[in-house]
Structure 1
Amino acid sequence: MNKTHQGQSRQTALITGSAGGIGYQLACIFAAHDYNLVLVDRNEPKLVEIAVKFQEEFGIFVKSIVKDLSISTAPEEIFTELQKADINVDVLVNNAGFGIYGLFHETDLATELEMLQVNLVCLTHLTKLFVKGMVKQGEGKILNVASAAAFQPGPLMAVYFATKAYILSFSEAIANELEGTGVTVTVLCPGSTESGFHERTGMADSKLLKGKKMMDAKTVAEIGFHALMKGKTIVIPGFINKLLAKSVRFVPRKIVTKIVRNMQENK
Structure 2
Amino acid sequence: MGSYALITGASKGIGKAMASQLAAKGYNLLLIARTENELQLLADELIASYKVKVSYLSADLANQLSPKIVADWCRGLHAEVSILINNAGYGLWGDFAELALAEQLNMLQVNLNSVVELTYHLLPLLKNQERAYILNVSSMAAYQALPTLALYAASKAFIISFSRAIRYELKNTSVSVTVLSPGPTDTGFAHRAGLDRLADLADKFNMQPADVARIGLKGMFECKVEIIPGLLNKLSAYGAKHLNKAWIERISAGLYRNAK
Normalised-by-shorter TM-score class:
over 0.9
Q: Which residue in the other structure is 1:115 paired with? A: 107
Normalised TM-score (structure 1): 0.93
* 2:75 aligned with 1:83: yes
Match of 1:62 among 36, 54, 62: 54
CA apart distance, 1:249? 2.1
Identify unmatched segments of 5+ residues in structure 2: none
The one-letter code sitting in structure 2 at the alignment partner of 1:233 is V
Q: Which residue in the other structure is 1:169 paired with? A: 161
Q: List structure 1 runs of 4+ shifted beyond 4 angstroms.
A: none
CA RMSD of aligned residues (A): 1.5
Q: Which residue in the other structure is 1:250 paired with? A: 242
* 2:140 aligned with 1:159: no
CA apart distance, 1:97? 0.4
CA apart distance, 1:211? 5.9
Distance in 1, Cα, partners of 2:71 & 2:41: 23
Q: Which residue in the other structure is 2:85 paired with? A: 93
SS at match of 1:77: helix
Match of 2:233 among 220, 223, 241: 241
| Percent pairwise identity | 37
Distance in 2, Cα, partners of 1:238 & 1:202: 25
**Which sits farther off after the overlay, 237-246 or 206-215?**
206-215
Distance in 2, Cα, partners of 1:64 & 1:36: 11
SS at match of 1:90: strand
CA apart distance, 1:265? 3.0
SS at match of 2:81: coil
Match of 2:173 among 166, 177, 181: 181
Distance in 2, Cα, partners of 1:74 & 1:49: 22
Give yes or no for contact 2:24–2:50 (8 Å, CA) kept in 1: yes
CA apart distance, 1:208? 8.7
Distance in 2, Cα, partners of 1:170 & 1:24: 24
CA apart distance, 1:99? 0.6
Aligned residues: 259
Q: Could you give the per-residue CA deviations for residues 73-111 of structure 1, whole angstroms, max 9, x where no partner exists?
A: 111111111212211211000000011011112112111
Q: Which residue in the other structure is 1:11 paired with? A: 3
Normalised TM-score (structure 2): 0.95
Give yes or no for contact 2:82–2:129 (8 Å, CA) kept in 1: no
Q: 1:175 to 1:210 in 2, by over 3 A?
A: closer
